[in-house]
C-alpha cells in the first residue's frame, strides 16, 4: 500500500494503478462502515484508492473540526489490512493553497434537512469531493447511506458536472444494537451510548407502520417522534419524511419511495440516521438508483 501526501505524488501513483479504480473518500477515524465501502470497492474494481482528509470547509465555526477524532497510524493499518492500493492524506494547505477561491454549490438538493441545519456544509462537501474526483480519476466512487443527503448531493454534482465516474451508495453499517456506525460515536459517554440506539428503534417503528400499510408522511413522522420522545437524553433537531428522489416534502400519500431521516443530539453529540421506505430499497442498487438519481430531475 502506497501512502502519498502531495498532488504530484498522487497523480504519479494513480497513473501507475492498472485497470478500474474504486475511490472511497473519508475523513479518517475509520470504522466498519468505511471498511464496508472499501470492501465493495475492492470487489468491483481492480484497485482501491482511499483519501483521508478532515475537510475544514464543511465544518461551521461552532462545529467539532478541532476535536474531530484523528488517528492516522490506526487508519493506515486498517486500510493495509483491507488490501487498499493507494492512500492520499493531504494536509489542508495541499487542498486549499493560498489564493484558493473556487466553490461548488449544488443548489436544490442541498437545501432542507442537513442543509437547513448546517448552512454551508454541502458547499464544503461538494467542493472537496469535486477536487478529490479530479485528483483520483476513479471509475467508481463509494459513499455511505448514513449521509443520505450528502450522497444525493454528490451524485447530482457528478452528473451535472459530467464527472466520468459512477457514484455508488452502500447501506448503513450498524452496531449490534442498531446504532449507525459513525466516527462521532466515540464522543458518547457510556450512558449516552446506551441511549443512542433510540434513533434506530424510531426508524424501525416507521418501517413497521409502512409495512402495515401507513403511507401518510405526517403519520410516519409521528411514529418516529413517538419513539424518540421516550428517550430523555434525546434532543430532536428534526425528523423528516420526504420523497426519496427529490428530498422535497410531500403531502401526497402515493406509493413513491420515502426517505425517513433525522438529526438528534445526545448530550453534545449530533447523530443522524435514515432509511428508505419500503425497506427493500435499503440496498446498494436501491439506494444508488434513488438518491440523487436521474429520477430526481423532473424534466428528464
Q: Which of residues 128-187 bind ligand PAF (CB under 6 A)?
A: 128-129, 147, 150
Catalytic entry in 34, 62, 117, 121 = 34
**Residue burial 241-250, b: 16+ Cβ < 10 Å; e: rest:** bbbbbbbeee
Q: Determine, following the binding rule CB under 6 A, whether residue 25 of this chain makes contact with ligand PAF.
A: yes
Per-residue contact string for residues 86-125; x = within reach of ligand PAF by CB under 6 A: ---------------------------------------x
| The residue to which cell 448552512 is assigned | 119
Nearer to ligand PAF, 27 or 188 (CB): 27
- DSSP one-letter code for 181: P
Phi, psi dihedral angles at 197 (to 5 degrees): -65, -5
Q: For residue 264, give the nearest of 274, 256, 255, 254 by alpha carbon.
A: 274
Region of residue 162 (phi > 0: left; psi between -120 and 50: alpha; otherwise: beta): left
b/e per residue 66-78 (b: at least 16 CB within 10 A): eebbeeeeebbeb
Indicate the residue among 139 and 147 with the shorter CB distance to ligand PAF. Answer: 147
Q: How far is the CB of 298 from ligand PAF (least distance, A)?
A: 27
Q: Which is nearer to ligand PAF, 26 or 45 (CB)?
A: 26
228 binds ligand PAF (CB under 6 A): no
Rank residues 27 and 275 by Cβ distance to ligand PAF and give the closer one. Answer: 27
Distance from C-alpha of 155 to C-alpha of 161, rounded to nearest angstrom: 10
CB 244 within 8 A of CB 290: yes
Determine if 243 is a binding residue for ligand PAF (CB under 6 A). no
Is residue 150 within 8 A of residue 125, CB to CB? The reply is yes
Q: Which of 26, 40, 149, 296 binds ligand PAF (CB under 6 A)?
A: 26
> Is 299 part of the annotated catalytic residue set?
no
Min dist. Cβ of residue 266 to ligand PAF (A): 20
Q: Which residues bind ligand PAF (CB under 6 A)?
A: 25-27, 55, 58, 125, 128-129, 147, 150
The residues carrying an active-site annotation are 34
Amino acid at each position: 500500500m502506497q501512502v502519498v501526501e502531495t498532488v504530484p505524488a498522487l497523480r504519479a501513483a494513480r497513473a501507475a494503478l492498472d485497470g478500474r479504480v474504486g475511490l472511497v473518500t473519508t475523513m479518517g477515524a475509520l470504522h466498519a462502515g468505511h471498511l464496508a465501502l472499501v470492501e465493495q470497492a475492492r470487489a468491483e474494481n481492480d484497485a482501491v484508492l482511499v483519501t483521508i482528509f478532515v475537510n475544514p470547509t464543511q465544518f461551521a465555526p461552532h462545529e467539532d473540526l478541532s476535536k474531530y477524532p484523528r488517528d492516522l497510524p490506526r487508519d493506515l493499518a486498517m486500510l493495509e489490512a483491507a488490501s487498499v492500493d493507494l492512500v492520499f492524506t493531504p494536509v489542508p494547505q495541499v487542498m486549499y493553497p493560498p489564493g484558493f477561491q473556487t466553490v461548488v454549490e449544488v443548489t436544490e438538493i442541498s437545501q432542507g434537512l442537513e442543509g437547513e441545519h448546517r448552512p454551508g456544509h454541502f458547499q464544503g462537501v461538494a467542493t472537496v469531493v469535486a477536487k478529490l474526483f479530479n485528483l483520483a480519476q476513479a471509475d467508481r466512487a463509494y459513499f455511505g447511506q448514513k449521509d443520505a443527503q450528502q450522497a444525493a448531493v454528490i451524485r447530482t454534482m457528478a452528473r451535472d458536472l459530467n464527472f466520468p465516474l459512477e457514484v455508488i451508495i452502500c447501506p448503513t453499517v450498524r452496531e449490534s444494537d442498531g446504532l449507525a456506525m459513525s466516527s462521532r460515536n466515540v464522543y458518547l459517554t457510556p450512558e449516552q451510548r446506551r441511549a443512542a440506539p433510540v434513533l434506530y428503534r424510531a426508524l424501525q417503528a416507521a418501517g413497521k407502520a409502512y409495512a402495515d400499510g401507513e403511507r401518510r408522511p405526517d403519520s410516519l413522522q409521528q411514529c418516529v417522534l413517538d419513539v424518540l420522545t421516550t428517550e430523555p437524553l434525546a434532543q430532536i433537531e428534526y425528523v423528516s419524511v420526504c420523497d426519496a428522489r427529490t428530498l422535497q416534502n410531500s403531502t401526497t400519500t402515493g406509493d413513491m419511495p420515502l426517505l425517513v431521516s433525522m438529526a438528534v443530539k445526545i448530550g453534545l453529540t449530533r447523530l443522524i440516521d435514515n432509511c428508505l421506505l419500503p425497506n427493500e430499497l435499503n440496498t446498494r442498487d436501491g439506494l444508488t438508483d434513488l438518491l440523487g438519481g436521474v429520477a430526481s430531475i423532473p424534466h428528464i
